[in-house]
Structure 1
Amino acid sequence: MPLKSKPKSRVKMEFTAGGIVYQRTKHGPLIALILDPYGKWGLPKGHLEKSETPAAAALRETREELGIRRVRIIAPVGQTDIWFNERFRKGKRVRGERILIHKVIYYFLMEAPTGVRARPQRGEGIRTVEWVPTHLVVRRVSYKNLQSVLRRGVWIIQQRARRQA
């Protein structure tokens, strides 16, 4: 009886970029978190388009997903990377050859005008946007890999506030 071999897997690289968007308020800075299609709190992000820089992609995706036009990049915050098995391709469940995805995500700290209202991009499955105080945001985010970039973003916000005080 011939042995059945496991389907081979190959690695596919994906590059995405996103934003840690904050706005100043009289009660302190607030950071925008999105409730994603999986019911988890995260940050706006998306794939880089051909010949697009991470910063340009982060601005475009953040503006689209939050529905906020007037955001500006303050500083790069860092990157995370995640590994996962591809489950769907073109909307259909993948069978046979498994593809391992290595996704690199570049994050940028961005500032939005005080009092701005977000309009979640529901067509992308974003259910809502919540503005969270900086001292709660690391605990509120659902994805552990975002905690370190959020801590760095909060630190930069605090340093900027001290310099401007």
Structure 2
Amino acid sequence: MKEISAGGVVYRHREGVTEIQLIQDRYGKMTLPKGKMEPGETIPETALREIREETGIDGRIVAELERIEYQYSHEKRGTIDKEVHYFLVEATGGSLQAQIEEIRGVAWFEPLEAWKRQKQSGYANNDSVLAKALQALRIEVD
């Protein structure tokens, strides 16, 4: 069975400083907003809807970043082939508010702090996604 999700690295420019949004998931890990595609949606529509639902922020897609594929086991549906599409998304409005049913929190971070938190307590498969986003924003990290 195949499952498609989409999400993104959300950024904003505030008072001359670029900030990156990270969420803390229900397991305490730092991650990026994403979620499952609904019937009739395009992949970009899924990404923007999930970002809005999980974080309260509206955005516009600036670029495609990466597609990650992996498998996981579901107790009822068996092996799931998961495909996750990530986009670079510029925040255009809304107000920051975590969807507490699904995540513990959401916050804005300066780019190097976001990178540090990703490396310390994020999922390894998000390293390249965030690195590509920062590169697209012309921000260098180690």
- Is residue 118 of structure 2 the alignment partner of residue 130 of structure 1? no
TM-score, scaled to structure 2 = 0.86
Do the aligned partners of 2:10 and 2:20 also contact (CA within 8 Å) in 1?
yes
Do the aligned partners of 2:9 and 2:32 also contact (CA within 8 Å) in 1?
yes
Shift of 1:136: 2.9
The structure with more radius of gyration: 1
Q: Which amino acid aligns with 1:122?
A: I
Instruction: Give matches, 1:91-130, under 5 Å.
Output: 99-113=78-92, 117-124=95-102, 126-130=103-107
Gap regions ≥5 residues in structure 2: none
Shift of 1:123: 2.1
Residue aligned with 2:41, SS: coil
Shift of 1:158: 1.7
Shift of 1:28: 2.3
TM-score, scaled to structure 1 = 0.75
The equivalent of 2:38 in structure 1 is: 49
Counterparts of 1:49 and 1:81 in 2: how far apart (Å)?
18
Structure 1 vs Structure 2 CA RMSD = 1.9
Counterparts of 1:135 and 1:80 in 2: how far apart (Å)?
23
- Tell me the number of residue pairs that the alignment of Structure 1 and Structure 2 aligns: 136
Gap regions ≥5 residues in structure 1: 1-11, 90-97, 160-165
Residue aligned with 2:14, SS: coil
Shift of 1:85: 1.4
Residue aligned with 2:107, SS: strand
The equivalent of 1:84 in structure 2 is: 72
The equivalent of 1:153 in structure 2 is: 133
Residue aligned with 1:73, SS: strand
Shift of 1:37: 1.1
% identity of equivalent residues: 38
Do the aligned partners of 2:24 and 2:104 also contact (CA within 8 Å) in 1?
yes
Considering fraction of residues, name the structure with more strand: 2
Counterparts of 2:43 and 2:97 in 1: how far apart (Å)?
23
Residue aligned with 1:56, SS: helix
- Is residue 6 of structure 2 the alignment partner of residue 17 of structure 1? yes
Residue aligned with 1:148, SS: helix
